[in-house]
Structure 1
């Protein structure tokens, strides 16, 4: 019985078989209406694939695969990919047995992007001509009929030989691939592939691909079992601490691990790791606010990453029952969350720490440059704590008159001051009782007031000015500063005992230049905010050149500077596209790096453009440390300098290092 997944059953007379298939391919390409006449002579899966390729307009003369991922995007994907971590050791272990066979082994993700390649250097060099490299798009919709993409579309293993490839540039190749399925949802999450030139064709490579895929699935099962156990423990810990919340715990590959049963029923979800649940959870993660509108009786608060051992393994969808809850408070909570935008590893780690410390009453010290969003972080800590329904009081110690800071913080009794309120006044600590007080710019607090603050932190009590009555309070204290408090202690302008009391839990908020991947999402948020604020009829967006400038600029004023620049642009722009000249003068007059990059580069090949982009991003990331970039690229400094000259990247150095 013929195997419909195999193209070649024998290695004899391969040249004639290539000619036969080439003739059938030409017949289809020149006249797709010949489909019916080819049904009995071309394998069904191949003919179906050709038809799909023809219907979406793929060029049959295509010679190369397209770039799908930059080196940085690929590196990020690999660091987070369970598939890669499961498959790489298995691929590496079998590689030695394939030396001399003329085959490369590739691992590909669920969309057909190649993420790992193993093979002999001389063979890799030959296949570079068609962009058979990690980061390239080998999906059927981008590269036509090929074993990688077609196996994922059909969800079946397949061998594709010579002219069975829809695109002529890949006719010299032969490939065998098997889809890899998620052990729980049974969704195709990738493909394992063996590729070589058609004279090396062997029927057994398809069976080997299937066996390898099954080994990877078994390793994934072990990984997921371990991960889901961790997520189950996280779920039980969270629900024990925050009983007033209803939550769902979701793995990072969009599998529902556990959740509040009533909430799941409301959302028509089951506590099952099934494909149907998986599809619903994928929609949830893409647009959680819209998805959770279905949760009647619950208010969606936020979706938080779950980070264990510095690795993001899932998400926590947090809800609050609307019964008895203040709608204004819930709206405020949602609004605050929307301003905390951060997909960078640095911000995910910060938010993870915030959730870890949310339930403790120990004082917290936030440090970092001006404008990094320390108050938003403090509000986030408050919102995810059990104090979220109590007051959050923010006070800037550097913005108050020194002689009034005592009365602002601790209040005063009737008759204490001439011109004061007759009935006296509550201080900020009293107003925050049961909730959180945020003391911004704590380094500006006068020395004589620091001793009073120390007493509050140690004794949980204070006395109003003009009174002898002690007031007990329960307040979580979060302080923040951009100053070096340890240096201030040496100068005698900050108390060491207060510093050590505040510094039990502390962390630094990264500057915007340290979290470049957040710049564009933050920009999009503020463009929408200012569009609504100024009632603009346009839907503003950054041009690609402006995005490039934003990513190269150092933003010394951090998020505050970015926000102000975008507000200026929205006010003065009459176009939906924000160009650099719409920004404040000091930014619009800076040299524009993208115009330099684009100059004279239209003749570069895809490979050269990919290399140029890789070098440019590494230079920006390393702040033009040539030695570090050369080491990362595994090339001599002299070679790197030649490439800088070739790609006109040397002209950018004065822009990048500002």
Structure 2
């Protein structure tokens, strides 16, 4: 049956058809002319299989997907889980195996008849195996994904001979928003169970799944429409459009339509011509009839899921620099560890909520960078971002600096008055860094401003309404500070409506190589020097360190290495001494030294190796601990300096220099 998705109709004899197709397959793989016809879809797939270099006699599906990745491979698992019971019943009733695979052709779910499953295992038809055309040649899963169409493959139509005893029917699942293929549903059984209704069943299942996805998309579009309304109310002069994940315009300011910026397919024309993902912040310029317009795209996340974006258009006449505008977005945040990715997912969700947010985290974790990213991803991204270090404002100027003053309010006041930081943040975000250092008197004023949503300037009589979002940050335990009377409890609860705890670098140690590589590239560009890489030993030492200064301390290391290292590779001998000692003590099971950033501590070694005891390691001097580590390793290696240097990852001359007068030519214990 030519040009058909099914292998045969109900009137065709499966036994005779199997023989005919097998003969055609043999002629194809031996290069002979075919005596009988095969479907065009099958023949084209055979040709693709040849180009992929598949062995038709010994082809075996490779197992690619690790077990721990299976659940995360499909973006709509919650929908798939709802229909699992129905899928299992379909398979058992039909005497088949039911399979779901992702868009790479990797099987993520398989169920059905137990005896049939055992037979299928012999050809690696198992969870985790890839059945894409590029790995196993013509088969219903791989061919349906390759063509984007439903497909039934019978017996010898499979490109690989080990699969000739099977028949399979598969249909792709498409995302209704992006039209991209998400995966496929497949029914597989013995060749003599072939029936055209198998493909109809699979198509019905995929249509049901796509229907559920469409309902979710409808909800997402409703949420985006609400965001459009909210933004329009808060920024009445804004020119904006809101789009779904597939670049479909949900609603836009009439100017978008009048200027022809929206195409016939209801897409923003610029986005179809530019290359970036809709899930990241983006800015671009476009020459229009009345000059150069600027556009800002801010992705919108709902419950951790990217559902669309808001696009702001800035006309040529109003392109003035923003006050203290942001430099960073979520794409600036580097990390792939599970803890970090979970944290970023939560932060993206909170970015879409226009409520006060408290960020807690150790010094150096990048709290302001995070605050900027949240602002850039929020509905206030087109407004200003004003950052204030609450611990750096002089107490006598704090009120006027934050809340402003009227002209003549005090001696030396500017004639026309002064807008404070809160007014400067109108329509945008104010970031109160080190909020825990704010004086109690100023906390009282701040609480009143937040509660009332308005302020009165110094010397002023009339309240000024505010439309801002407040993000505060601290490296202190504010809850404990309230218990000690150092921070107002009512202000703490007012700021802590939403909360984020930034993970320390130690908690996300798996990200250190990625961060260090990023920092080294940036630093080397800044200093105009050739790129640097880190050898295995040095990287192992860097990863073992506690990093009390977090990313800031890692950045400082990158600068030190870029300034110090002459070649192109950072070795263990190039690293700072305190880091080397830390690694050595940790590696050899001694208590790790107290991490300190203090340098040039005094060195007074007055002991010999045989005098070392466990209590000696309790000294607070980092350099003393360094000496103790070296001497201990020397003891273990019977005084062999060369071997000790290798074990510690330093040069032997470094050992002589560090031990100084403890190593003399008369002391033949050291060689």
Asked if TM exceeds 0.5, the reply is yes
- Deviation, 1:354, is 2.9
Question: 1:517–1:279: structure 2 CA closer, same or farther, 3 Å change rule?
Answer: farther
Which moves more between the two structures, 142-151 or 517-526? 517-526
Tell me, in whole angstroms, the C-alpha distance in 2 between the residues paired with 1:423 and 1:356.
38
- 1:570-585 aligned at under 5 Å gives the runs none
RMSD: 5.2
Q: 2:552 aligns with which of 549, 554, 560?
A: 560
- The alignment status of 1:304 with 2:299, answered yes or no, reads yes
Tell me, in whole angstroms, the C-alpha distance in 1 between the residues paired with 2:255 and 2:195.
55
Question: 1:259–1:115: structure 2 CA closer, same or farther, 3 Å change rule?
Answer: farther
Q: 1:439 aligns with which of 432, 446, 457?
A: 432
Tell me, in whole angstroms, the C-alpha distance in 1 between the residues paired with 2:294 and 2:357.
28
- Deviation, 1:426, is 12
Whether the 8 Å contact between 2:3 and 2:40 is mirrored in structure 1 is: no
- The alignment status of 1:354 with 2:351, answered yes or no, reads yes
**Equivalent residue number for residue 105 of structure 2:** 112
- Deviation, 1:51, is 1.0
Unaligned segments of structure 1, at least 5 residues: 592-658
**1:525-552 CA-partner distances (Å, limit 9, x unpaired):** 64554343233455x7899999999999
- The alignment status of 1:213 with 2:206, answered yes or no, reads yes
Tell me, in whole angstroms, the C-alpha distance in 2 between the residues paired with 1:354 and 1:75.
27
**Equivalent residue number for residue 318 of structure 1:** 311
**1:300-323 CA-partner distances (Å, limit 9, x unpaired):** 33432330xx25251214324042
Tell me, in whole angstroms, the C-alpha distance in 1 between the residues paired with 2:455 and 2:483.
29
Tell me, in whole angstroms, the C-alpha distance in 2 between the residues paired with 1:25 and 1:536.
60
- The alignment status of 1:45 with 2:41, answered yes or no, reads yes
Whether the 8 Å contact between 2:239 and 2:313 is mirrored in structure 1 is: yes
Whether the 8 Å contact between 1:292 and 1:300 is mirrored in structure 2 is: yes
Whether the 8 Å contact between 1:387 and 1:434 is mirrored in structure 2 is: no
SS in 2 for 1:76: coil
- Deviation, 1:332, is 4.3
Which moves more between the two structures, 37-46 or 448-457? 448-457
Tell me, in whole angstroms, the C-alpha distance in 1 between the residues paired with 2:299 and 2:113.
43
- Deviation, 1:241, is 2.8
What is the TM-score with the length of structure 1 in the denominator? 0.68
**Equivalent residue number for residue 624 of structure 1:** none
Question: 1:423–1:314: structure 2 CA closer, same or farther, 3 Å change rule?
Answer: closer
SS in 2 for 1:99: helix
**Equivalent residue number for residue 65 of structure 1:** 61
Tell me, in whole angstroms, the C-alpha distance in 2 between the residues paired with 1:139 and 1:537.
42
SS in 1 for 2:198: helix
- Deviation, 1:194, is 0.8
Tell me, in whole angstroms, the C-alpha distance in 2 between the residues paired with 1:255 and 1:410.
42
Q: 1:395 aligns with which of 389, 392, 396?
A: 389
**Equivalent residue number for residue 627 of structure 2:** none
- 1:447-466 aligned at under 5 Å gives the runs 447=440, 450-451=443-444, 453-454=446-447
- Deviation, 1:11, is 11
Tell me, in whole angstroms, the C-alpha distance in 1 between the residues paired with 2:63 and 2:197.
30
**Equivalent residue number for residue 479 of structure 1:** 472
- 1:369-380 aligned at under 5 Å gives the runs 369-380=362-373
Tell me, in whole angstroms, the C-alpha distance in 2 between the residues paired with 1:516 and 1:491.
33
Tell me, in whole angstroms, the C-alpha distance in 2 between the residues paired with 1:258 and 1:237.
13
SS in 2 for 1:315: strand
- The alignment status of 1:535 with 2:528, answered yes or no, reads yes
**1:541-591 CA-partner distances (Å, limit 9, x unpaired):** 899999999999986654435544555566667898999998777778869
SS in 2 for 1:156: coil
Whether the 8 Å contact between 1:266 and 1:295 is mirrored in structure 2 is: no
**Equivalent residue number for residue 649 of structure 1:** none
- Deviation, 1:147, is 0.6
Whether the 8 Å contact between 1:302 and 1:318 is mirrored in structure 2 is: yes
Whether the 8 Å contact between 1:379 and 1:392 is mirrored in structure 2 is: no
Tell me, in whole angstroms, the C-alpha distance in 2 between the residues paired with 1:487 and 1:431.
28
Whether the 8 Å contact between 1:412 and 1:425 is mirrored in structure 2 is: no
- 1:264-283 aligned at under 5 Å gives the runs 269-270=262-263, 272=265, 280=272, 283=275
Tell me, in whole angstroms, the C-alpha distance in 2 between the residues paired with 1:48 and 1:521.
43
SS in 2 for 1:285: coil
Tell me, in whole angstroms, the C-alpha distance in 2 between the residues paired with 1:99 and 1:424.
83
Unaligned segments of structure 2, at least 5 residues: 585-671
**Equivalent residue number for residue 507 of structure 1:** 499
Tell me, in whole angstroms, the C-alpha distance in 2 between the residues paired with 1:574 and 1:39.
71
SS in 1 for 2:152: strand
- The alignment status of 1:56 with 2:46, answered yes or no, reads no
Tell me, in whole angstroms, the C-alpha distance in 2 between the residues paired with 1:553 and 1:19.
67
Tell me, in whole angstroms, the C-alpha distance in 2 between the residues paired with 1:164 and 1:306.
45
Question: 1:74–1:560: structure 2 CA closer, same or farther, 3 Å change rule?
Answer: farther
SS in 1 for 2:480: helix
SS in 1 for 2:365: coil
Whether the 8 Å contact between 1:302 and 1:337 is mirrored in structure 2 is: no
Question: 1:356–1:425: structure 2 CA closer, same or farther, 3 Å change rule?
Answer: farther
**Equivalent residue number for residue 29 of structure 1:** 29
- The alignment status of 1:430 with 2:420, answered yes or no, reads yes
Question: 1:395–1:356: structure 2 CA closer, same or farther, 3 Å change rule?
Answer: same
- The alignment status of 1:237 with 2:230, answered yes or no, reads yes
Tell me, in whole angstroms, the C-alpha distance in 2 between the residues paired with 1:192 and 1:287.
27
Tell me, in whole angstroms, the C-alpha distance in 2 between the residues paired with 1:533 and 1:30.
61
Question: 1:207–1:461: structure 2 CA closer, same or farther, 3 Å change rule?
Answer: closer
**1:464-523 CA-partner distances (Å, limit 9, x unpaired):** 7xxx778966675543212222222222333334434444x3412331577799878866
Question: 1:529–1:260: structure 2 CA closer, same or farther, 3 Å change rule?
Answer: farther
- 1:67-216 aligned at under 5 Å gives the runs 67=63, 69-78=65-74, 80-81=75-76, 84-86=77-79, 88-90=81-83, 92-99=85-92, 101-181=94-174, 188-198=181-191, 200-216=193-209
Whether the 8 Å contact between 2:406 and 2:460 is mirrored in structure 1 is: no
SS in 1 for 2:277: helix
SS in 2 for 1:508: strand
- Deviation, 1:386, is 5.2
Structure number having the greater helix percentage: 1
